[in-house]
Structure 1
Amino acid sequence: MWPRRRRILQALAAIVVLAVALPIIPPAAHAKPRLTLVSSTPSVTLPVAENKFRHPADLHQVFFLQRTTNANTIVYVAQFDENGTLDSSQPIVGYWRRFAGAGHIMEFRWYERVFGFGARTRLLSAREGYEVRFNGIRDQKLILRQEGPFQAALYKQQNGQDFKMIYGFLDIDDSGLLPKVTRLRLYTSDPNTGRYMTHTIAVSGGAFRE
Structure 2
Amino acid sequence: MKTIILTGLLSITHICEQPLPGRPILGPQMQDSLPVPHDIPNLLFYLQRDGNANTICYTLNLGKSGELNINNPIKMFWVMYAEKGAHKELNFLQKRYAYGINVYPQGKDSYEIKTVSYPSRSLFLRKNIDNQFQVFTNINNQHCTLKRVFIRIDGGTPLSPHIKHIELHGIELTSSKTAVEIVKVS
Return the TM-score normalized by structure 2: 0.72
What residue is the counterpart of 1:146 in the other structure?
A: 127
What residue is the counterpart of 1:92 in the other structure?
A: 74
Counterparts in 2 of 1:106 and 1:157: CA distance versus 1, 3 Å: same
Contact 2:153 2:163 in 1 (8 A): yes
Choose 65-74 or 76-85, whichever is displaced more.
Answer: 76-85
Number of residue-to-residue matches in the alignment: 162
User: Secondary structure of the residue that 2:144 maps to in structure 1?
Assistant: strand
Deviation (angstroms), 1:10: 6.5
What residue is the counterpart of 2:146 in the other structure?
A: 165
Code of the aligned partner of 2:48 = Q
- For 2:57 and 2:93, how far apart are their aligned partners in 1? 17
2:185 matched to 1:194? Answer: no
Deviation (angstroms), 1:105: 1.0
Q: Decide which of 2, 10, 33 is 1:52's aligned counterpart.
A: 33
Counterparts in 2 of 1:123 and 1:198: CA distance versus 1, 3 Å: same
Contact 2:78 2:87 in 1 (8 A): yes
Q: Mark the runs of 5 or more structure 2 residues left unpaired by the alignment.
A: 1-9, 16-28
Q: Mark the runs of 5 or more structure 1 residues left unpaired by the alignment.
A: 1-7, 14-47, 205-210
Cα displacement string for residues 152-176 of structure 1 (whole angstroms, at most 9, x for unaligned residues) = 1111136864221110222223465
Deviation (angstroms), 1:59: 0.9
Code of the aligned partner of 1:52 = S
Contact 1:62 1:76 in 2 (8 A): yes
- Cα root mean square deviation, aligned: 2.9
What residue is the counterpart of 1:76 in the other structure?
A: 58
Return the TM-score normalized by structure 1: 0.65
- For 1:167 and 1:158, how far apart are their aligned partners in 2? 12
Identity of aligned residues (%): 22
- For 2:49 and 2:96, how far apart are their aligned partners in 1? 20
What residue is the counterpart of 1:42 in the other structure?
A: none
Deviation (angstroms), 1:54: 0.8
Code of the aligned partner of 1:9 = S
- For 1:10 and 1:67, how far apart are their aligned partners in 2? 14
Q: Decide which of 159, 163, 166 is 1:184's aligned counterpart.
A: 166
What residue is the counterpart of 2:85 in the other structure?
A: 103
- For 1:157 and 1:203, how far apart are their aligned partners in 2? 17
User: Secondary structure of the residue that 2:117 maps to in structure 1?
Assistant: helix
Answer 1 or 2: higher relative contact order, Cα 8 Å, separation at least 6: 1
Cα displacement string for residues 128-184 of structure 1 (whole angstroms, at most 9, x for unaligned residues) = x111122334454211012356x3111113686422111022222346574222233
Deviation (angstroms), 1:110: 1.0
What residue is the counterpart of 2:21 in the other structure?
A: none
Q: Decide which of 73, 86, 96 is 1:114's aligned counterpart.
A: 96
